Amino acid sequence: MASGLSSRVISRNITRTIRGPWNFVAGKRCLPVDSSGSMKVIEPASGELLCGVPISGTEEVNRAVGVAKGVFATWSKLSGREGGEKLLRAGQIIRENLEDISRLEVQDTGKPIWEARLDITSCPDALEYYGGLAPCIVGQHVPLPGGSFAMVQKEPLGVIGGVGAWNFPMQTCIWKVAPALACGNTFVYKPSQFTPVTAVTLGEVLADAGVPDGVYNVVQGEGQTGAYLCEHPDVAKLSFTGSVPTGTKVMTAGAQDIKSVTLELGGKSPLIIFPDADVKNAVKATLMANFLSQGQVCSNGTRVFVHRSIAAEFLKQLVTATEKLKIGDPFAEDTTVGATIHEDHARKVLSYVDSARQEGATVLCGGERVLLKGKLAGGWYLSPAVLTDCRDDMKVVQEEVFGSVASVLEFDTEEEAVKRANDTKFGLAGAVFTKDIQRGHRVANAIEAGTVWINTYNLYPTEVPFGGYKQSGIGRENGLTAVDYFTQTRTIYVEMGDVDCGLLYQD
Ligand SMILES: NC(=O)C1=CN([C@@H]2O[C@H](COP(=O)(O)OP(=O)(O)OC[C@H]3O[C@@H](n4cnc5c(N)ncnc54)[C@H](O)[C@@H]3O)[C@@H](O)[C@H]2O)C=CC1
Ligand SMILES: C[N+](C)(C)CCCC(=O)O
């Protein structure tokens, strides 16, 4: 049979406007069967109502999990090539609709359109990677004494419950769904209440790609809906992205039924710049490490350790580059800073700048609300902040701000920089900037984090694992490693001789 990839006859049923219904169960958009009210979703760019979304109750979560459980037997029995081909096709559909989906993501998140295009491009990257990998998810044959042998099988877990954050809505969802489905699992996902849109778009994409109804489902709601999903006895595994306090709750819920749990949590990552570094590249990386998506990125390198000998020059270049960032309409092609997700979060980010000032930091630029005109007047636009005169014990240096606030700290020796870099409860990421290859590797190996970049920042190709040390999480997403987190191992022992039971049996 011809591969779906060579065929251009794929129907396109993607909803391109902000329009409900917002649940996706059994292969179509639908209303929840029970609901405890409606969420008002605000468009970050304007502060105006984007849509109202009914909150799914226990009955709806039961329905979605039941549907996913019902189709598990069919989906998990497909060969890797049959299932994988559908994921490849889904990737192709997203590529062909990239602009429309990116625009939905901008409306939902307030991030600049050029960034949304990059985020959405990473979605087919993941679908294609795991679609291609699916036929290679195989077990082992283990020869044993006397001609006996064992088959070690990689088996899916069952229904996966996914809960996501608001900063990378579709990417976060697909990083979970693509490997989970490639391993033969089915899925129920609850997006963040702030960004309900593109998880539903993914349902339409997968349906168009021929993924059977019920393999992927979406329920909507706040923490309570997430909790129902995590506590559901028929959910085999939980995969969560969000804050540490909620991650703790998800893990606690999982503990009740001994569910496997993957957690992608927060960070307070170090970016260490040595005197031999290329300063322009270090400045570019510092922008990437702090100001993408309005600073709302878990892996951000918000503790910028700069060697004292180059600190003045580095700060000069960093402030110049930061002041050139263009705050504006997220849909404008030249905008580099869009809207913060919502007012409460913006106020929290600004409160960190205030606390830094009170503790003695100097704000070299930014850290203020910028009022835009017309339709954008209600959005919360914050100017990216660069802080100096920082100390390790300041609140802004200790806690995850999740906003555009870079704290610059000076250091004298490599040993000191590494020690201070690791003095945190988090361990998601880090980076080292140097032209000295030995030092680069030595420091990268000493940083206690799941990802360390040498001479760059915030790149996460699908091919490489991503996840945290310490309180930044458990488990890994992406790469071959993700397969281990969405499968379980069954050993079948085949006896080829007589049963040897020692002295137990006497002829
Ligand atoms: N990956 C990361 O590092 C992220 C960190 N954050 C941090 O968390 C702060 C709060 O942001 P939120 O979106 O409110 O993050 P959150 O961790 O509260 O929520 C993340 C997701 O978990 C759901 N949830 C909440 N309570 C739950 C429960 N008991 N059981 C299951 N699911 C539950 C939420 O509805 C949402 O979908 C941010 O200001 C930021 O500091 C937020 C998003 C991502
Ligand atoms: C990989 N990344 C950083 C784009 C998204 C990971 C989760 C997060 O920031 O919430």
Count of C-beta atoms within a 10 Å radius of residue 321: 17
Q: Single out the residue of 292, 278, 493 nearest to residue 404, CA to CA.
A: 292
Using alpha carbons only, give the angle 113, 327, 453 rounded to the nearest 5 degrees: 65
Interval 98-124 mean pLDDT: 98
Looking at this predicted complex, what is its ipTM? 0.95
CB 2 within 8 A of CB 189: no
Please give the Cα distance from 429 to 438 (Å, whole number).
20
pLDDT of 7 above 70:
no
Mean pLDDT of the region 151-178: 98
What's the CA gap between 67 and 185, in Å, rounded?
13
Whether the ω angle into residue 124 lies within 30 degrees of 0, i.e. cis, is no
Catalytic residues: 264
Residue 122 CA, closest ligand 2 atom number: 4
List the residue whose alpha carbon is closest to atom 19 of ligand 1. 242
Name beta bridge partners: 405. 385
Q: Verify whether ligand 1 is closer than 6 Å to residue 244 (CB atom).
A: no
Judge whether residue 10 has pLDDT over 80.
no
Q: 407 C-alpha to center of ligand 1: Å?
A: 24
User: From the CA of 434, how far away is ligand 1's center (Å)?
Assistant: 35
Distance between Cα 250 and ligand 1 center (Å): 10
What confidence tens digit (pLDDT) does each residue in 165-207 have?
A: 999 999 999 999 999 999 999 999 999 999 999 999 999 999 9
Angle at 202 between CA 201 and CA 204, to 5 degrees: 65
DSSP designation for 449 = S
Residue ranges of the domains in the chain? 7-265, 270-454
| Both structure tokens of 100 | 């429309």
Ligand nearest to the CA of 225: 1
Whose CA is closest to atom 8 on ligand 2?
298
Asked whether the predicted pLDDT for residue 129 surpasses 60, the reply is: yes
Distance CA 33, CA 65 (A): 13
Two domains, one topology: 7-265 and 270-454: no
Which one of 168, 246, 252, 340 would you pick to mutate in the ligand 1 pocket, going by the greatest count of ligand atoms within 8 A of its CB? 246
Q: What is the pLDDT of residues 354-403, one digit of tens each?
A: 999 999 999 999 999 999 999 999 999 999 999 999 999 999 999 999 99
Interval 38-55 mean pLDDT: 98
Query: Which letter does DSSP use for residue 81 in this model?
Result: H
**Euclidean distance between CA atoms 222 and 6, whole angstroms:** 41
Q: Which helix H or strand E contains 122, and what residues bound it? A: helix 113-133
Overall fold of domain 270-454: Aldehyde Dehydrogenase; Chain A, domain 2 (3.40.309)
What pLDDT does residue 11 have?
A: 52
DSSP string, 188-216: EEE--TT--HHHHHHHHHHHHTTPPTTSE
- Where helices occur in 232-364 by DSSP H, the ranges are 244-256, 279-290, 311-323, 343-358
pTM equals 0.96
Average pLDDT over residues 325-345: 98
E strand or H helix that includes residue 65: helix 58-77
**What pLDDT digit, counting tens, does each position of 404-435 carry?**
999 999 999 999 999 999 999 999 999 999 99
Q: What is the mean pLDDT of residues 289-310?
A: 98
Which ligand lies nearest the alpha carbon of 239?
1
Position in ligand 2 atom list of the atom nearest CA 298 = 9
What's phi and psi for 330, nearest 5 deg? -55, -25
Q: How far is the CA of 163 from the centre of ligand 1 (A)?
A: 9
Tell me the per-residue pLDDT of 444-458, one tens digit each, with 9 for 90 and over.
999 999 999 999 999
Q: Which CATH superfamily is domain 7-265 in?
A: Aldehyde Dehydrogenase; Chain A, domain 1 (3.40.605.10)
3-state secondary structure of 371: coil
Closest ligand relative to 218 C-alpha? 1
